Amino acid sequence: MAGQISEADQIKQFKEFLGTYNKLTENCFVDCIKDFTSRDVKPEEITCSENCLQKYLKMTQRISMRFQEYHIQQNEALAAKAGLLSQPR
C-alpha cells in the first residue's frame, strides 16, 4: 500500500480543494462582478476574473517554490549539522 493515499486522506484533500476553489471563486466574483442589471458578463468583468485567477495561480506557484527552497535549505543545514556531529575530533 506504499504510495497510495487512503480514502480518508483523499476525502480530506478533496474537501480542502473545494474550500480553496470556493474561496477563490467568491473573492474573484466579489472583486470583479459589479453589474447585475444584465445577464451578460461584461468584457471588463471577464478580464478581471481571468486576471484574478492568474494572479492566484502565480501566487500559489511562487509560495510552493519558496516552501520547497526553504525545506531544501533546512535539510542541507540538518545534513551539515549531522555531518559535523558524526565526525570524530
**Interval 44-83: pLDDT, tens:** 999 999 999 999 999 999 999 999 999 999 998 888 888 7
Mean pLDDT of the chain: 89
**CA distance linking residue 87 with residue 16, whole number of Å:** 45
Distance CA 42, CA 32 (A): 10
Residue 31 near residue 48 (C-beta atoms within 8 A):
yes
Q: Check if the beta carbon of residue 48 is closer than 8 Å to that of residue 32.
A: yes
The answer to whether the predicted template modeling score (pTM) of the entire model surpasses 0.85 is no
C-alpha cell at 11: 476525502
* Planar angle of CA 39, 45, 46, nearest 5 degrees: 95
What domains are there in the chain, each with its CATH number?
5-80 (1.10.287.810)
